[in-house]
Chains A and B, each alone.
Chain A
């Protein structure tokens, strides 16, 4: 069974740098080990979210594209 998502961040329709800013706000609201799901329509997020996740030491569990929507699940370090 997949990990339970503790927080959903909806950054759909927002351009750079909003997906990263909202991801930051979201991750601050969950505990270490919990999972956050980020949704974005910004193509720049395909590089921005994985970079930010890696640099922050969190774990990028999945990164998926479904039509115009990019979905990421991140486990907080």
Chain B
């Protein structure tokens, strides 16, 4: 019996020691006032990185994309906007009316004219009347149009990356795109950025 008691005592003691060895230092550091403050600060700290997948070419979706990415930059975040599919068309320079390198891709850009200025509303576009009214309203309320917010984004260091695969697919060449963009990239690059971002949006 005494032997068992002793053994139990030793076990308990050694377990306690093992526990202290494992967690003791951390507990000590975190329970102090400094540790609590550091932990609070760490929890309070905002995100460092945001990645937006700009899939839509609709005016009413480009607007929030540009607002959030420029504001992210104002927050000091590392912001990347990866433009793919319909989201590529707004990146085309204003003096380029038709993109495409064959009949099908040329027809596509005729049906879906490129550039921010020609972006349509996702609803109530009414042959461009809705879009015109929305821009008028924005002007009356001093809301910056998306193309100007886009310029702000570039000035503030937002990285704008066109998607290489969809550029090829839709017949949009790099020389037709606005200046200041990043090199065309692929899905892995986009995912790599997203995996390191606290905020990921698909707009």
Contact = CB atoms under 8 A, between A and B. Distances in A.
Given A24-B156, A55-B46, A17 B67 contact: yes
Given A13-B142, A15-B144, A56 B75 contact: yes
B141 A21 contact: no
A16 B75 CA distance: 14
A24 B74 contact: yes
Contact of A20 (B46, B71, B142, B149): B71
Interface in B127-143: 141-143
A14 B149 CA distance: 12
A60 B141 CA distance: 27
Nearest to B141: A15
Nearest to B45: A55
Interface centre among A13, A15, A16, A18 (most CB of B within 10 A): A18
B75 A21 contact: no
A52 interface: yes
B70 interface: yes
Contacts of A16: 67, 143
A23 interface: yes
Nearest to B72: A17
Contact of B143 (A15, A21, A23): A15
A17 B142 contact: no
Interface in B65-83: 67, 70-71, 73-76
Interface centre among A14, A16, A17, A25 (most CB of B within 10 A): A17
A25 B76 CA distance: 11
A23 B142 contact: no
Interface in B106-157: 141-144, 149, 152, 156
Contact of A21 (B46, B76, B156): B156
A17 B76 CA distance: 15
Contacts of A20: 71, 74
Interface of A: 13-18, 20-21, 23-25, 52, 55-56
Interface of B: 46, 67, 70-71, 73-76, 141-144, 149, 152, 156
26 contacts: A13-B142, A14-B144, A15-B141, A15-B142, A15-B143, A15-B144, A16-B67, A17-B67, A17-B71, A17-B74, A17-B149, A18-B142, A18-B144, A20-B71, A20-B74, A21-B70, A21-B73, A21-B156, A23-B74, A24-B73, A24-B76, A24-B156, A52-B74, A55-B46, A56-B75, A56-B76
Given A13-B142, A21-B74, A24-B156, 8 more contacts: A17-B67, A17-B71, A20-B71, A23-B74, A24-B73, A24-B76, A55-B46, A56-B76
